[in-house]
Structure 1
Amino acid sequence: MFRSDLTRFADRAEAGRLLAERVKALGPRDPVVYALPRGGVPVAAEVAAALGAPLDLVLVRKIGAPGQPELALGAVVDGDAPEVVLNADIVAATGASEAFIAAARLRELAEIERRRARYLTGLAPVDPRGRTAVVVDDGLATGASARAALRALRRRGAARLVLATPVAPPETLKAMRGEADDTVCAVEAEVFFGIGAFYRDFHQLTDEEVIASIAAYRERMGSNA
């Protein structure tokens, strides 16, 4: 890990290649790489390629605050019993009611199902049981989505959890170390104005780009994908 408030990645693929070097140095045993879509997919594809590991998705949706949808109250991740993780201090500060959170949860679960149908049609999920699950996103702000993903994968039987991200503020990383067995971050940003500030190209990926990225990875890796 290195500290910098000026480093900018060219794009998510470059960030993924730099991150992959650090993840590979951990020597993860029998790894599976799980991307947080949309933005985490091209980053995770580079990590998975470096490890020669399967690439899968962990579908998580942020629950935004009332009137401030970009402020994360928490997140929900799919599964047999959907995992909901809340940021208690933000819930209290915004006055979000239980009814508001319940409605948001249902709405975001519906979007998760839509994405699953678009992104993973015909692809069987990879079972993390007994394996090293490497969770990858293109950056962390509050870490709510990554926290939900890690807890869900732990519940599904992952033997070891690695959280890997190109950039995050130190306070978020400190909090996440209680969720993952290892955390890997290329840039620990003391001054943090948002993930996009650390990329020259940080356009919002479309569903079509995500699908194309997954297909390109599978073609690149062949039978190892």
Structure 2
Amino acid sequence: MFRDRREAGRQLAEKLLSFAKAEPIVYALPRGGLPVADEVAKRLDAPLDLILVRKLGAPGHEELAIGALVDGGAPTTILHQDVIAELNVPDAYIQSVETDALAEIERRRKLYMKDQPPLPAKDRIAIIVDDGLATGATMEAAVAAMRKAGAAQIIVAVPVAPRDTIEKLEKIADDVIALETPYPFWSVGSWYQSFPQLTDEDVIETLARRHAEDAS
């Protein structure tokens, strides 16, 4: 049980110290992953960036994902071809939701990061951090994006995740580090004493404080 996301981040950072000398980049999955990643980046003295992921919803059933679009130097679309085939989703629809998702990602990056471009992952160690995983679908998309961006090594790091999700991610990432792998797994939030919903303002405040600390 973690007191809050920042305590979880401090514990996670201790498991990642071996990567510090390799000058990794720490990538957060906002919103919830940012406080965790912020603590990791501070401990490793590493730069911090965001990976923004938008789910692509099925026509008429937006809660059902047909894929995801991930930001970065080269935005990446991950499609679930089995779902697309089962629902017979037309190409024109996919192109439309991709366009909408990219616009929303660009809006969020501009809101969060102002005019700062994404940090290039090419030939770098990328440590992707979230506050926990359930199915791991968002993290899977983030790993695929980092692989496409040319990261030399991809490390998934989370405080808590179910064992089957860890095993799935171990097939596509170079290493997966999780502090807790409970069974049965109920929810990410059940492993935190304090697990509030974070807002855009929380993200902006955390990044502004981080940039001020880096500049001092």
Output the TM-score relative to the length of structure 2. Answer: 0.87
Equivalent of residue 181 in structure 2, options 160, 163, 188: 188
In structure 2, which of residues 13, 16, 31 is the aligned counterpart of residue 38 of structure 1? Answer: 31
5+ residue gaps, structure 2, are none
Alignment match, 1:4: none
Change over 3 Å in CA distance of 1:65–1:170 after alignment to 2: farther
Aligned with 1:34: secondary structure? strand
Q: Which residue of 2 aligns with 1:49?
A: 42
TM superposition shift of 1:90: 5.7
Structure 2 match to 1:202: 195
| 8 A Cα contact 1:33 1:134, kept in partner | yes
User: 1:118 and 2:111 equivalent?
Assistant: yes
| Cα offsets for 1:97-132 (capped at 9, x unmatched) | 246544433332222111011011132432222211
1:72-151 superposed matches below 5 A: 72-79=65-72, 81-87=74-80, 95=87, 97-98=89-90, 101-151=94-144
Letter in 2 for 1:130: D
- Report percent identity of matched pairs: 48
Q: In structure 2, give the amino acid aligned to 1:85.
A: I
1:72/1:140 Cα in 2 relative to 1: closer, same or farther (>3 Å)?
farther
Is the Cα contact below 8 Å between 2:158 and 2:179 reproduced in 1? yes
- Distance between the aligned counterparts of 2:78 and 2:195, measured in 1? 26
Deviations 1:157-206 (A, max 9, x none): 21111111111111111111122111111111222222222222222211
Q: Does 1:156 align with 2:149?
A: yes
Q: Which amino acid aligns with 2:116?
A: L
Aligned length: 215
Per the alignment, do residues 102 and 179 of structure 1 end up closer, same or farther by CA in structure 2, a change over 3 Å counting?
same
SS of structure 1 residue aligned to 2:196: coil
CA deviations over 1:13-42 (Å, ceiling 9, x no partner): 111111111112455612000111111111
Q: State the alpha-carbon separation in 1 of the partners of residues 191 and 50 from structure 2.
A: 24
* Counterpart Cα distance in 1 of 2:97 and 2:142: 18
Matched residue type, 2:27: Y
Q: CA deviation at 1:89?
A: 5.7
Q: Which has the higher contact order (CA 8 A, sep 6+)?
A: 1
RMSD: 2.4
Task: Choose 161-170 or 193-202, whichever is displaced more.
Answer: 193-202
Which secondary structure state, in structure 2, belongs to the residue aligned with residue 33 of structure 1? strand
Report the AA paired with residue 97 of structure 1. Answer: V
- Matched residue type, 1:47: V
5+ residue gaps in structure 1?
A: 1-7
Report the AA paired with residue 155 of structure 1. Answer: K
CA contact (8 A) 1:34 1:135 kept: yes
